[in-house]
Amino acid sequence: MGHRGVVITAGFDKSEAATCLAELFKQNGIPVNGIMVVSPYSVLRIKYYLKKKGLSSITQSIRRLKGFQKNDSGNTPNHINQFRIEHQISIDSLKKWANINHCKIITVASLNSDQSIHFLESTDPQWLVYSGGGILKQPIIDQVDGQILNAHQGPLPEIRGMNAAEWSILLDKKQEVTIHLIDRGIDTGKIIKRLPYTIDKKDNIESIREKAIIKGVEGLIEVGSQDSLVRYDIQENHSQYRQCYTLSNAMRELLNAKLEYLKSRSADV
């Protein structure tokens, strides 16, 4: 049986990771059966951000949703831009990409909605490739028989949850992206592949995150291009490690200090 193609999720239309995934799957000859974009403008989502993170998070999100670069410092390379140039990816919108490539695309209020489940039913992918859009619940996991790939920006099982690239530095863990299956837990699904990366003297937090995104895209393209996982040494994951959350202001300051220190000590960290 051949590869049945992939469906990609995204948290917003201009998601850099998702556009890279769509284009690179195409370049690899893997059909992109569909794209599911979560509407960033749903009342629920705006209410959530207002309640949890305040008004400033809304303005920050709008900048990101509109595709403004976060890492525009003159001294630090923009790794994602370089990656896009290397792979000749010029398109910056999933809707445009889907239109040009005659690919099904839907905008949903939630990845867990009935609309999403019907979409997956009709597109019947080999893999649902997760590239943002919120936590997945059991019905959608069941719909694709758990065949959901995620690129987590830190080493599992030690660093699970949010800001994983940052926490890897703070907790003295390896810098690596973990490709794993998604299950009901937070980053607790089986581990498929690990992709280490290095930090160099020009990096800052944003550029490190970009490196992790690129590694994640590479890993998802490699694994998602297979029609099974037989070639991988699948490892059980464990959830006994404490879940990570977004860094507090104080911890972010500590992280920047640690990063400067590490960079001052060697070229590659």
Partner 1 sequence: MITDKLEKHLQLSIDWLIKSKQPSGGSSAYHAPLLGWIKPYPETTGYIIPTLIDYHHYAEDQLAIRTAVDFGEWLLSIQSGEGYWFAGQHPPKKQEPSVFNTGQILFGLISLYKETKDSKWLTSLDKATEWLCSSIDRNGYWKEGHYRGFNPTYYSRVAWPILLASTVLDNDTYRNKAILVLDTLIKKRNPNGTFSGWGFDEHGSAFTHTIAYTLRGFMESSILINDWESYGAKTERALQKFYTLSELNNGRLDGEYNEQYSGKKTYSCITGNFQIALCLMRWYEKNNDLRLMNSASKLIEYSVKCQTSTDSILSHKGAIPGSKPFWGRYMTLRYPNWSAKFCADALLLFLKLYKKESDRWDIEES
Contact residues for partner 1, defined by CB under 8 A: 52-53, 167, 170-171, 242-251, 253-254, 257-258, 260-262, 264
Q: In what order do the strands lie in the sheet with 148-152?
A: 104-108, 32-38, 6-10, 127-129, 148-152, 176-181, 191-196
DSSP tag of 11: S
- Min CB(160)–partner 1 separation in Å: 11
State the Cα–Cα distance between residues 249 and 65, nearest whole angstrom: 23
Question: Do the beta carbons of residue 3 and residue 31 sit within 8 Å?
Answer: yes
Nearest distance from residue 134's CB to partner 1, in Å? 15
Kindly tell me which of 51 and 102 has the beta carbon lying closer to partner 1.
Answer: 51
CA separation for the pair 57, 74 (Å, rounded): 25
Which residue's CB is nearer to partner 1, number 102 or number 265? 265
Identify any residues that bridge with 106 across adjacent strands, giving them in sequence order. 36
Rounded to 5 degrees, what are φ and ψ at 224?
-70, -15
Q: What does DSSP assign to residue 267?
A: S
Q: In the bound complex, what is the minimum distance in angstroms from residue 120's beta carbon to partner 1?
A: 29
Query: Which is closer to partner 1, CB of 73 or CB of 82?
Result: 73
Count of beta carbons in the 10 Å neighbourhood of residue 263: 17
Residue 186 C-beta: closest distance to partner 1, Å = 11
Least distance from partner 1 to the Cβ atom of residue 255, Å: 10
Is the Cβ of residue 75 or residue 264 nearer to partner 1 in the bound state?
Answer: 264
CB-nearer residue toward partner 1: 228 or 246: 246
CA triple 257-259-265, angle to 5 deg: 105
14 or 209: whose CB is closer to partner 1? 209
**Residue 188 contacts by C-beta under 8 Å, 6 or more apart in sequence?**
157, 160, 237, 238, 239
Smallest gap from Cβ 30 to partner 1, in A, equals: 37
